[in-house]
Homo-oligomer: A and B are copies of this chain.
Amino acid sequence: MLSLKQCVQVLSMRCISMSASKLKYVNVAVDDKTGIATVEMNRPPVNSLNTPLLQELSTTLSDLTKNKSRGLILTSSSPTVFSAGLDILEMYKPDPERVKLFWTTVQEVWLKLYGSVYPTAAAINGHSPAGGCLLALSCEYRVMAPKLTIGLNETRLGIVAPTWFQASMQNVMSVRDTEKALTLGTMFSTDEALKVGLIDEVASDKQDAIKRCEQFLLQFAKISVEARAMTKRNCRGKAIADLENNREADLQNFLGFVNSPKVQRGLELYLESLKAKK
């Protein structure tokens, strides 16, 4: 049962006006009192990041800038998975044009989220491997529910996390822990993630995680939006400029990699193993 306070909170939420009506894979709710938007990925069963979901995230991130949002909480509608990461089906036997659009959209979402003007937090209420971990890392704060796993485990799938994935991890973990985590493809438990700095807090559940994210974001309520945004840009600018100035090279690098027979064979084996599980 909801408490009175919770009822008021629910009532003060409303759907974001502009693009929200067109959104299929993303639920957006803005708290009128705080100006904070909760963005819920909603592509069952595991929020695999395919082009349409990524495009909706990209649109949403831009809308929040236009709406002068006071903050973003990123979470998942799934009870078990935050996001399973990039959708393998976008990379397996790829159509040349479609896979290009896919990677360009991955870049775009990261550039917008990592460099957003408004403050950002991830309420990680489910497992968060690879691309899911990247989304969480791109926020400014991470709160995670217990007994979950998170990590950039790309090497375990025979693929390579690009340098901007690495930069995002080094933004919160030590250089040492990052190298070990990336080469080993480590999936951290919630407790281990807290210890290495991959997350900032442990929450009891999704609702608690969202509440703690909100508390983090509300700290910025009285701080100049412009000064904060420029300061964040100072901190994250190098990694952002590194990708902005090399988007085409990064794309070609990805295409060369994803089209190699070895990677295709690896993805095939992985997809077969998923089918076998069903």
Provide the bound-state CA to CA distance between A154 and B160, in Å.
37
A164 nearest CB neighbor, chain B only: B234
Interface range on chain A (Cβ under 8 Å from partner):
35 or more
Q: Does A100 contact B (CB under 8 A)?
A: no
Q: Mark A211-241, 1 if CB is under 8 A from B, else 0.
A: 0000000011001101110111011110000
Assuming the contacts A172-B175, A175-B170, A175-B172, asked whether A182 and B227 have C-beta atoms less than 8 A apart, the reply is: no
**Cβ 8 A contact of A234, one of B161, B185, B220:** B161
Q: Mark A70-90, 1 if CB is under 8 A from B, else 0.
A: 000000000000000000000
A224 nearest CB neighbor, chain B only: B158
Interface residues of A in 157-212 (CB under 8 A from B): 157-163, 166, 170-176, 178-180, 182-185, 197
Provide the bound-state CA to CA distance between A237 and B228, in Å.
27
Q: Kindly list chain B residues whose C-beta atoms are within 8 Å of the C-beta of A163.
A: 234, 237
Most buried by B among A159, A172, A234: A234
Interface residues of A in 227-274 (CB under 8 A from B): 227-228, 230-232, 234-237, 262, 266
A226 nearest CB neighbor, chain B only: B262
Complex copy number for this chain: 3
Q: Does A156 contact B (CB under 8 A)?
A: yes
**Cβ 8 A contact of A161, one of B172, B219, B231, B236:** B231
Q: Kindly list chain B residues whose C-beta atoms are within 8 Å of the C-beta of A119.
A: 183
Assuming the contacts A172-B175, A176-B171, A227-B158, asked whether A232 and B183 have C-beta atoms less than 8 A apart, the reply is: yes
A42 to chain B, nearest CB (A): 29
A166 nearest CB neighbor, chain B only: B234
Q: Does A155 contact B (CB under 8 A)?
A: yes
Q: Does A140 contact B (CB under 8 A)?
A: yes
Provide the bound-state CA to CA distance between A241 and B7, in Å.
56
Contact A179 B228 (CB under 8 A): no
Provide the bound-state CA to CA distance between A159 and B230, in Å.
9
A223 nearest CB neighbor, chain B only: B155
**Chain A residues within CB distance 8 Å of chain B:** 119, 140, 154-163, 166, 170-176, 178-180, 182-185, 197, 219-220, 223-224, 226-228, 230-232, 234-237, 262, 266
5 smallest beta-carbon distances between A and B, as pairs? A158-B224, A179-B235, A160-B230, A155-B227, A172-B176
For this complex, 7 residue pairs linking A to B, each with C-beta atoms less than 8 Å apart, are A119-B183, A159-B224, A161-B234, A171-B176, A179-B235, A179-B236, A183-B232
Kindly list 18 other residue pairs between chains A and B, CB separation below 8 angstroms, not including A158-B224, A170-B175, A175-B235. A140-B180, A155-B223, A155-B224, A155-B231, A157-B227, A158-B226, A159-B224, A166-B234, A166-B235, A172-B176, A173-B176, A178-B235, A179-B235, A182-B234, A183-B228, A184-B219, A184-B220, A224-B266
